[in-house]
């Protein structure tokens, strides 16, 4: 069975600092991996996704993530945090292309301090 673990339920960084949100997955099949962001009282917005091919994936708002099969990780990074990045971030795995089912991690709340 697939599963996702996000290390750290809360991460706090200063504005301009590196953002690193950690995600490890477990999957018995080649995974399709996603990062979503949720702003207060809103739905989920896709930041980026990994399917096949290049292991470094670039997303919106300056975020990127690297798929490391050997470490079963898909950590999300951004070189310089902005106040507007404060939100909750979810890592998710989908087992195959023929399903709309996502398995989510518990989420990481990112706080950005001025």
Partner 1 sequence: KAGVTQTPRYLIKTRGQQVTLSCSPISGHRSVSWYQQTPGQGLQFLFEYFSETQRNKGNFPGRFSGRQFSNSRSEMNVSTLELGDSALYLCASSLVGSSGNTIYFGEGSWLTVV
By the rule CB under 8 A, 100 interacts with partner 1: yes
By the rule CB under 8 A, 40 interacts with partner 1: no
Distance separating alpha carbons of residues 85 and 95, to the nearest angstrom: 28
By the rule CB under 8 A, 94 interacts with partner 1: yes
By the rule CB under 8 A, 43 interacts with partner 1: yes
Which residue spans within 10-107 are E strands per DSSP? 10-14, 19-26, 32-38, 44-50, 56-58, 64-68, 73-78, 87-94, 103-104
Q: Which of 75, 64, 67, 88 is nearest to 9 (CA)?
A: 88
Total site size for partner 1, rule CB under 8 A = 25
Angle in degrees, CA 42, 45, 48, rounded to 5: 160
By the rule CB under 8 A, 42 interacts with partner 1: yes
Only one of the segments 13-21, 63-71, 79-87, 95-103 lies at the binding site for partner 1 (rule: CB under 8 A); that segment is 95-103
By the rule CB under 8 A, 7 interacts with partner 1: no
Site for partner 1 in 50-79 (CB under 8 A): 51-52
By the rule CB under 8 A, 17 interacts with partner 1: no
CA dihedral 38, 94, 2, 98 (to 10 degrees): 150
Only one of the segments 17-25, 36-44, 59-67, 74-82 lies at the binding site for partner 1 (rule: CB under 8 A); that segment is 36-44
């Amino acid at each position: 069975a697939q599963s996702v673990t996000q290390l750290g339920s809360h991460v706090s960084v200063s504005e301009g600092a590196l953002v690193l949100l950690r995600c490890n997955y477990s999957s018995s099949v080649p995974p399709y991996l996603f990062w979503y962001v949720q702003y207060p009282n809103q739905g989920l917005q896709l930041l980026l996704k990994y399917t096949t091919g290049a292991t470094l994936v670039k997303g919106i708002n300056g975020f990127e993530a690297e798929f490391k099969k050997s470490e079963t990780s898909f950590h999300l990074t951004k070189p310089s945090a902005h106040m507007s990045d404060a939100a909750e971030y979810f890592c998710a795995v989908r087992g195959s292309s023929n399903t709309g089912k996502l398995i989510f991690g518990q989420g990481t709340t990112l706080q950005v301090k001025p």
